[in-house]
Every structure is written in C-alpha cells, then in structure tokens.
C-alpha cells in the first residue's frame, strides 16, 4: 500500500521535474542556425572538396597511389627536351605534361591521404562543401589545363620524338649491324662464329 502511494507520488513528481526543465529551455536561445542563410564558420583545417593547383603539379602520381578509393586518375606525357615547362612554386622542375588529372569527387572519401605525399603541395582540400550536381558525370572534376587538341599534339609530339629516337636507334643498330656484317665478311674464312652472337647485341640495345 505504501509502495502504491509512493509510485503515484513519484510518477507525478518526476513528470513535474521534467516539465520544469523543459519549461526552462523554452527561454534558452536556440543553438541551431538558419543554414543556407547563415553558415557556420569553418576551421582552417577543414577537409572538403579537393582542389589541384595545376601550375604546381609535376605529375608524379603519388596522390593517386595514396588514395584508398582510387578516385584520382593521372596520365602524363614526357615533354620534349626543347620544351620548358617552368618551375613549381617550391622550385621543382616540371618534366611531364599532365594530360589527364581527373578526380571523381563522388568516390572521394575525404581522408586527406593524397594531400600529404604531394611534393609540391599542389593538391589540397578546400572549404567548399556545397557541390551537389544533378548528373553523376558532373562530379568528375577534370583539372588538366591542356585542351584536348593540345593533349593530342603533345602525344603526337612525343610519339614523333619517340619515333625519331627509334629511327635514330634503328639507324645506329643498322650501322652497327652493317659494321658487324663487314667484320663478318672479313673473317669469312673462320667458320666457328654462330648465329646467336649476331642477333643478341641489337636486342639488348633496344631495351
């Protein structure tokens, strides 16, 4: 019987205590803000959308290798010896044309692992966090500063250069082979030379 009245009393009293607390809170200023109109100031270390400063990028591919979700895709083409790509802000010489630097921000997990290995500090996280898009393709950010034509041209240049080099090499090999043939012809009388010796040296040079 005592328990019965105690229960009744506790039931009413604790409800009353709770109501007193919530009533006090009616007059506490609100802690929420009107988001799109008012925004919370972000701290300086905030990790949001990735940005790449292409002026400084040397195309070393370290960020792409650090990424755990493989959202960075980099393709590079070697520059011509006569081309000068300039220097990065911390004095590194650029030697590669970065023809493709894509970040699929939809895949990005904002872990910041790509930021630390960058030797020129050109990839970093900004404080932009409102970048929703209607199409998934629009979330694929292309940072490469080269236009499609330029890219093709660079590739062509490089291929041409490569081809020229190859041709040069081939010519050298040919010359060598000819020289070897001459030498062979001169030493025709000695029959102990075998085929393998002839074919091996050029192969090594090629590689």
2 binds other proteins (CB under 8 A): no
Nearest to 94, CA basis, from 104, 81, 105, 84:
84
> One symbol per residue from 66 to 105: x for binding other proteins (CB under 8 A), - otherwise; what is it?
xxx-------------------------------------
- Sign of the torsion formed by the C-alpha atoms of 70, 75, 78 and 82: negative
128, 82 contact by CB (below 8 A)? no
Q: Which residue lies nearer to other proteins by CB, 66 or 139?
A: 66
Q: Which residue lies nearer to other proteins by CB, 95 or 115?
A: 115
Nearest to 126, CA basis, from 103, 144, 99, 146:
103
Of 109-117, 142-150, 156-164, 188-196, the segment contacting other proteins by CB under 8 A is: 109-117
Residue 181: both structure tokens together: 């043939």
49 binds other proteins (CB under 8 A): no
Count of H-run helices and E-run strands, the chain: 4, 5
Q: Which residues bind other proteins (CB under 8 A)?
A: 7-8, 10-15, 17-19, 21-23, 25-26, 28-32, 34, 42-43, 45-47, 66-68, 109-113, 116, 125
């Amino acid at each position: 019987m005592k328990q019965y009245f105690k229960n009744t009393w506790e039931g009413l009293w604790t409800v009353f205590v709770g109501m007193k607390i919530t009533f006090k809170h009616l007059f506490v200023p609100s802690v929420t803000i009107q988001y799109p109109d008012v925004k919370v100031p972000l701290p300086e270390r905030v990790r949001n959308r990735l940005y790449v400063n292409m002026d400084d990028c040397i195309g070393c591919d370290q960020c792409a290798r650090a990424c755990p979700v493989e959202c960075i895709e980099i393709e590079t083409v070697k520059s011509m010896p006569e081309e000068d790509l300039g220097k990065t802000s911390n004095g590194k010489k650029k030697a590669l044309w970065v023809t493709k630097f894509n970040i699929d921000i939809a895949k990005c997990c904002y872990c910041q692992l790509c930021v630390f290995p960058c030797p020129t500090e050109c990839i970093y996280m900004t404080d932009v966090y409102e970048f929703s898009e209607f199409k998934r393709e629009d979330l694929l950010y292309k940072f490469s500063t080269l236009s499609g034509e330029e890219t093709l041209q660079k590739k062509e240049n490089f291929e041409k250069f490569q081809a020229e080099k190859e041709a040069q090499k081939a010519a050298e090999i040919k010359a060598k082979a000819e020289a070897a043939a001459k030498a062979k012809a001169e030493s025709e009388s000695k029959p102990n030379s075998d085929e393998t010796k002839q074919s091996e040296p050029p192969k090594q040079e090629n590689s």
